[in-house]
Amino acid sequence: DSSFVGSISSDSVFGIICDGVGSYSSSEIASSWAVSVFSDWFLKCYAGISDIEDKEEFRSVLYERWNAIFDIINEHILQFAEVNGIKLACTLSCILIKDGSYYILHIGDTRIYCISSGIMRLTEDHTVTERNVRRKLITREQAQSDRSKHVLTKCLASQRYVSPDFYSGSIDGTAKFLICSDGFCNNAEDESILRIFGADARKSASGLKKAAKKIIRNDRSRGERDNITAVIIQVSKE
Say if residue 48's pLDDT is above 80: yes
The candidate with the shortest Cα–Cα distance to 92, out of 77, 78, 107, is: 107
| pLDDT confidence of residue 2 | 92
C-alpha distance from residue 210 to each of 148, 206, 207 (Å): 32, 6, 5
| pLDDT confidence of residue 40 | 97
Are 112 and 54 a contacting pair, CB within 8 Å?
no
Tell me what the mean pLDDT of segment 216-230 comes to: 79
CB atoms within 10 A of CB 109: 25
* Confidence class for position 133, pLDDT limits 50, 70, 90: confident
* Confidence class for position 23, pLDDT limits 50, 70, 90: low
Say if residue 114's pLDDT is above 90: yes
| H or E element, residue 209 | helix 205-221
Task: Tell me the C-alpha distance between 97 and 124, whole Å.
Answer: 19
Are 177 and 15 a contacting pair, CB within 8 Å?
yes
Task: Tell me the C-alpha distance between 211 and 193, whole Å.
Answer: 9
* Confidence class for position 44, pLDDT limits 50, 70, 90: very high
Q: What whole-number percentage of the chain has pLDDT above 90?
A: 58
C-alpha distance from residue 196 to each of 207, 213, 225 (Å): 10, 10, 21
What's the pLDDT tens digit per position in 139-173? 888 887 778 888 999 999 889 999 999 999 999 88
| pLDDT confidence of residue 192 | 87
| pLDDT confidence of residue 238 | 59
